[in-house]
Structure 1
Amino acid sequence: MSNIDLDLQEGLYFLPLGGSGEIGMNLNLYCCNGKWLMIDCGISFADDRAPGIDVIVPDAAWIAERSEDLLAIIVTHAHEDHVGAVARLWPQFRCPVYTSPFTAEILSLKLAEEELENEVEVNVIAPGSSVSLGEYHIDFVDLTHSIPEMQALMITTPYGRVLHSGDWKLDPDPVVGPASNLAKMQKVSEAGVLAMICDSTNVFKEGVSGSEQDVQNSLDELLRGIPSGRIAVTTFASNIARLMTIASVAERHDRHVVLVGRSLHRMTQAAKKSGYLNDMPPFLDEKDAGHIPRDKILLLCTGSQGEPRGAMARIARGEHSHVELSPGDTVIFSSKVIPGNEKTLYGLHNQLTESGVNVITEADEFVHVSGHPAREELTDMYRIVKPEIAIPVHGEARHIRAHCELALSLGVKQAIEITNGNILKLAPGKAGIIADVPSGRLAVDAGGLTPLDGEFLLTRRRLVYNGCVSGVVFVNEKGQITEDPIIRLRGVLDETLFPQLQNDLRDQIIDSHNRLKKSEKLDDDEVELSAHNAVRRVFRRLAGRRPITDIYVIRFEEE
C-alpha cells in the first residue's frame, strides 16, 4: 500500500498505472480537483517469466485506496489490453463504466464470467456522442482501428483540454465501421488542446499503416492461387474487420467459413448484436467441418500467436476434436508476430510445414496491416490537434522517446517521457512529473491475483529452472541418525548420469550432522538446516543449481 500523501485537490493531473513503458495492460487516470477518471483497464499476456500464468493485470491498489473519488471508468474499445481487466479489478473500484455498444457487449460477457453482470453499472454511449462527469466533459470521436467503435476522448476540464487518443490509425477504407472522423477531431481541437496522450506502437514505421481493404484485395488474389485443399486462416479474434475481410474473400471463392475457437464465436455474436457482420453468409461450427468438401472450406481459427491452447496449435498437434489438416492444405497467419512470441510461433510454423501443410505469413505475402498509426499518420494527427504538450503512451521506453522526438520536430512545445506510476501535473503552471506512486503487475492465478514479483511466482520460477528436492532424516532421542536419509529429486538433474548420487547425498548429510554440537543434534531445526545445506552443496557442485529443498526431521524414541 502507498503511504504517499499528495495534495491533488487543485489542478489537472495524469497518472498511468499500466500501458506506459510497455505495450498492453492499459490503465490511465486523470485527476481534476481531486476527482479521478479512469480510461481503460486492460490485461497483458504472460511470458516464460511467469510459468503457468496466462494473464497479467495492473496493480491498481493505489487508486483503489481512493475509489470514493473515482467517478467512472471509460473504455475506449474492446481489445483485451484495454477492457480485459475491468471484470477482474472492478470490485476494488465499484464505480460506473461508460463505453460504446460493441465494447459493452464484450464487457458483458466478461462480467458474466465473474458473476458481476447484475452489479456493474454499464452506461452505453453512442459512438461520437458526449458525456459529462463532474468537472469533466468528454467528447467521443470515431477513429479507425482493427476493432469497431474505437473512440478517442476529448476531455474538457476547467484547466484545459486533453485528447486521449486510444489505439487508432487513419484507415481510409476500414471495411467495418465508420472512417476516422477527422472533421470532428479538427472541430473539437479548434478551441485549443493542452495535451495529447497518444499511441506510440508504430512510431518507428515510416509512411502509413495501410488499409484493411488492401488486405482484402491481397487475400482475394492469394486465394485465387490456392484452388484446392483446405485453407485455414488464423488471426486475432477481436479483429472484426479482418473477420469481415476473410468472410468476404471466402464467399467470392465459394468457400464456407467455419469458426474454430470459442473466442471467435463470442466476438462474432457480439458484433452481430451491435449491427456488424449481419449481411454475411452464416458462419458454420467446427463440428460441421468434416462434412464439407476440402476445396469448399475456409477454417477461421484462433491461436495466431501460437498459443498452446489455441485452435491452430491443437490442430497442428493432431489434438483437435473436429478439425484436421493434411499435406497440401494451406494455413495463412493473418497477423503480426507479437514481440516475445517468436519462438513459440516459429515452432508452430515448422510443425505445420513438417506435416506437409503450406504456411503463409506476413513475411511471405501481404496478409496483415497494423491497427496503430505509423509516422505519417502521427504527423497528420499532430497537425490537426496542435497540442501544446505531447505525452506518448502505449509503447516501450524506446517508442516513447522516439515519439517525443517526433512531436518536438512537429512544433509541439513540450514532450514528456512518462512511465507507469509517474504523476504528471498538466495544469496550472508548467507541466512536469511531480511524484511517483506504486504501480506493478499482478498475475491472474487460480486463487485470484498475486504479485508478479512476489514469493509465490519466484518459487514457481525456481521450481521450473532448478527443480526440487525433498527428504526425510531419521533421528533418535540422543540426536543420532539411525537410518539412511530418504532423498527424492524432481527435475533437478538426470539421476541415471550420476549413479553414486544417492550415496553422495547420504554421506554429505551424515557428515554434516556429525559436525553439529550435541545441543544442536537435539534441535530439529538445526538438524533440518544442516541436512538442507548439505543437499544444496551437492547440487551446486554437480550442476550449479540451487533447487527448492525441503527436509523433514522425524525424531523417535528407541526401545
Structure 2
Amino acid sequence: MSHPHPELQAPPALPEGGLRVIPLGGLGEVGRNMTVFEHAGRLLIVDCGVLFPEDHHPGVDLILPDFGPIRDRLDQVEALVLTHGHEDHIGATPYLLRERGDIPLVGSELTLALLDSKLREHRLKETVHHRVKEGDRLTFGPFELEFVAVNHSIPDALAVAIRTSAGMVLHTGDFKMDQLPLDGRITDLRAFARLGEEGVDLFLTDSTNAETPGFTPAEKSITPVIDRVFRESSQRIIVACFASHVHRVQQVLDAAYAHGRQVAYVGRSMVRNMAIARDLGYLTVPPGTLVDAKDLAGLPPERQVLVSTGSQGEPMSALSRIAQRNHNFVHIEEGDTVLLASSLIPGNENAVYRVINGLARWGARVVHKGNALVHVSGHASAGELLYCYNIVRPRNVLPVHGEMRHMLANRDLALATGVPNVVVAEDGVVVDLVDGVASITGKVDCGYVFVDGSSVGGITESDLKDRRILGEEGFISVIVVIDSVSGKVSAGPEIHARGFVEDGAGFEEIKQPIIEALDRAIAEGNTDTYQLQQTVRRVIGRWVSGTHRRRPMIIPVVIES
C-alpha cells in the first residue's frame, strides 16, 4: 500500500518487460482525466479531458492536462482510447491533436461522433478513427485492447482491458452498475468475471462515489418524479441538465409526450449533442414533440417545455442568462417550473444556488436535487465497487477519477475485499507494474495548463495569483518624480487606486511619509530607481495594511527628471 510522496524524484528507466502508468490528470480531482501507459518503448493514452475552472481561476476558460512529460515522445503514441463522450474525458483531445494530428482515436460510435463535432469547431481535420463496441478487440503495437460495456450517465461508455506481456490492466472508465438502465445496456459483469479468471494484474477503478454507501439508484427511479413535476405544473417547464445527458433528455421527451407538451432545446451544445444522439439512434423523439425554440413561444405556457444547458450555474449558459433576465427570447414568468436535473459538481455550489435564487426571484418554482429525486449519479457507489473487487479479484489496484478523499475511500474498499496491493497516486506520480507487483517509482513534472481565450498555457499560477489579488484586494499605483540634480521629490506622489479606496483624498496622509522615506533613502546613497520603488512599495503597503486591512497589488513608479 503506497502513498504519493512530495519528495519523489524522476523515475528510473522502466525495467525491460515492465508496464509504466503515468496519470497526467484525474487523480486528486474530478475532471481532466488522462492516463499514459508505457510498454516496450511505446505509449497508449486512455482519455484526454478538461477540468472546468472554479472561482479561484479568474479569466480561465478551461484547464488541460499537462502534455509536457510526453511532448517529446508523441511519435511513440500508438493510439488514444476514449472511454466515453463526457468533456472531462474527451475535451482536451483537440489540443493534443494540435501537437500531433495523426494519433489514431479509438472509441464507441457516440463518443467519436461527439468528438468529431468538437474537432470541427477547432478546425482540425479528421484523424484516423477506430469505432469499437463491447466485445471488440484491437491491437496497437504491444497493446492488445478488449472493450467491455459499462453504463454511465451517457450512452455507449466502455471499460478497456489492456493486455501486454507485463500483465493485464483493466480500466473501468467512469461507470456504475444500473441493473435497469433506460437503454437496456448493463455493465457487463460477466466480462469482468471472465477477465478476472484470466488474471487482472492492475485494476484502475472509478473512485468518484467511493464514499457513498450502498448502490447508486437506477436512472428509472427518476421517471416518476419527472412525471409528477409535469403533472403538477400548470405553466411552462424548463429542464436544465448536462448537454450530454441523453438518458435524462429521453425521460423529459417521454414525459412531455405523455402530458401533451412540446419540447425545444436551448443552448448550442444541447442542440448539437441531441441531434447527434438522435441521428445515431441513442435518442428517440416521440412524434410531434420536438420544435424549434423560437416556435415554442407561439404555444400556450402549459404546453411548453424547454431543455437547457446550465445545470452547474455556468455564467454564460442559457439557464444563467434566463435567471438574469438577459436571454434573447426566454423570460421567466410567475408560476413557471424549473427542474435542475443534475448533481452539484464540487466547487459549483455557489454558482448553482445563485441561479436558483435568481429564478425564484422571478416567481419560478425550482425543483432540484436538494428537494426532490431529480438526479442520480453516473458513478458506482461503495457497494458496487466492493462487488467489482470480489468479481475481478485483481492483484493490484490503482484508484483513479476522484479527489484524494475519494481515492482513499476506494483504497479502503479494495483492501477490505482482500486485494493484496493498493497504490494511491496523484497526477504525475509514476506507477510501474513489474513482475506482477505495482509500485510508485517516481514523479514527472506536470501541472495545470490554463486556456485563456486563444492562449494555451500562457497563463501561469503566478498570473492567477495576481488576478485574485486584483479581484479581492484591489490595485494602487504611485508615481513620484525625483529631481536628478537636487535628489529631492519634484512632483507627486500621485496615487491612484481601484478596488477599495476610489477617492484620492483618502491617501493624503500617506503622501508626506512617502516623501520622507525617499529623502532618507537618497541621503543614504540609494539612488537606483528600483530601490526607490521598493521603498515606496514598503511605505504604502504597511500603511494600507494597517489602515484598511488590505494587501493590494502596488505598482510604484519612480521617474528621474
Shorter chain as denominator, the TM-score bin is over 0.9
What's the % identity of the aligned pairs?
Answer: 34
Q: CA deviation at 1:92?
A: 3.2
Match of 1:190 in 2: 197
The answer to whether residue 245 in structure 2 is matched with residue 275 in structure 1 is: no
Select which of 494, 514, 519 maps to 1:486: 494
Alignment of 1:241-320 (within 5 A): 241-281=247-287, 283-320=290-327
Match of 2:165 in 1: 158
Match of 1:529 in 2: 534
**2:533 and 2:459 mapped to 1: Cα distance?**
30
Match of 2:4 in 1: none
**2:449 and 2:361 mapped to 1: Cα distance?**
38
Q: CA deviation at 1:453?
A: 5.5
Match of 2:106 in 1: 98
Q: CA deviation at 1:521?
A: 6.8
What per-residue deviation string (whole Å, max 9, x for no partner) do you get for residues 240-262 of structure 1?
11111111111111111111111
Could you say if the C-alpha distance between residues 273 and 171 of structure 1 is closer, same or farther in structure 2, counting changes exceeding 3 Å? same
Q: CA deviation at 1:372?
A: 0.5
Select which of 496, 502, 507 maps to 1:502: 507
Q: CA deviation at 1:159?
A: 2.0
Q: CA deviation at 1:446?
A: 2.1
Alignment of 1:423-434 (within 5 A): 423-434=430-441
Give the count of matched residue pairs.
550
Equivalent residues of 1:422, 1:433 under 8 A apart:
yes
Alignment of 1:93-132 (within 5 A): 93-94=100-101, 95-118=103-126, 120-132=127-139
**2:431 and 2:9 mapped to 1: Cα distance?**
18
Could you say if the C-alpha distance between residues 164 and 451 of structure 1 is closer, same or farther in structure 2, counting changes exceeding 3 Å? farther
The more displaced of 15-24 and 530-539 is 530-539
2:545 partner SS:
helix
**2:459 and 2:200 mapped to 1: Cα distance?**
38
Select which of 363, 376, 389 maps to 2:383: 376
**1:128 and 1:87 mapped to 2: Cα distance?**
28
Equivalent residues of 1:261, 1:311 under 8 A apart:
yes
Counterpart residue type for residue 488 of structure 1:
H
Unaligned runs of 5+ in 2: 1-7
Unaligned runs of 5+ in 1: none
The more displaced of 448-457 and 402-411 is 448-457
What per-residue deviation string (whole Å, max 9, x for no partner) do you get for residues 311-352 of structure 1?
111111110011011111111111111111112212222222
Counterpart residue type for residue 305 of structure 1:
Q
Alignment of 1:135-534 (within 5 A): 135-176=142-183, 178-226=185-233, 228-281=234-287, 283-450=290-457, 454-478=461-485, 479-491=487-499, 493-495=500-502, 500-517=505-522, 520=525, 522-534=527-539
**2:358 and 2:229 mapped to 1: Cα distance?**
22
Match of 1:34 in 2: 41
1:44 partner SS:
coil
1:198 partner SS:
strand
Q: CA deviation at 1:109?
A: 1.9
RMSD, aligned α-carbons? 2.2
The more displaced of 456-465 and 193-202 is 456-465
Q: CA deviation at 1:86?
A: 0.8
Q: CA deviation at 1:506?
A: 2.1
**1:315 and 1:516 mapped to 2: Cα distance?**
58
**1:104 and 1:532 mapped to 2: Cα distance?**
55
1:485 partner SS:
strand
Equivalent residues of 2:395, 2:436 under 8 A apart:
no
Q: CA deviation at 1:279?
A: 4.2
**1:202 and 1:537 mapped to 2: Cα distance?**
48
**1:484 and 1:12 mapped to 2: Cα distance?**
66
The more displaced of 367-376 and 183-192 is 183-192
Equivalent residues of 1:72, 1:98 under 8 A apart:
yes
Match of 2:59 in 1: 52
Q: CA deviation at 1:235?
A: 0.9
Equivalent residues of 1:528, 1:551 under 8 A apart:
yes
Equivalent residues of 1:528, 1:553 under 8 A apart:
yes
Q: CA deviation at 1:156?
A: 1.0
**1:177 and 1:44 mapped to 2: Cα distance?**
30
Q: CA deviation at 1:448?
A: 2.0
Find runs of 4+ consecutive structure 1 residues off by over 6 angstroms.
Answer: none
**1:5 and 1:218 mapped to 2: Cα distance?**
52
**1:403 and 1:5 mapped to 2: Cα distance?**
25
Equivalent residues of 1:23, 1:396 under 8 A apart:
yes
Could you say if the C-alpha distance between residues 421 and 25 of structure 1 is closer, same or farther in structure 2, counting changes exceeding 3 Å? same
The more displaced of 351-360 and 367-376 is 351-360
Equivalent residues of 2:202, 2:438 under 8 A apart:
no
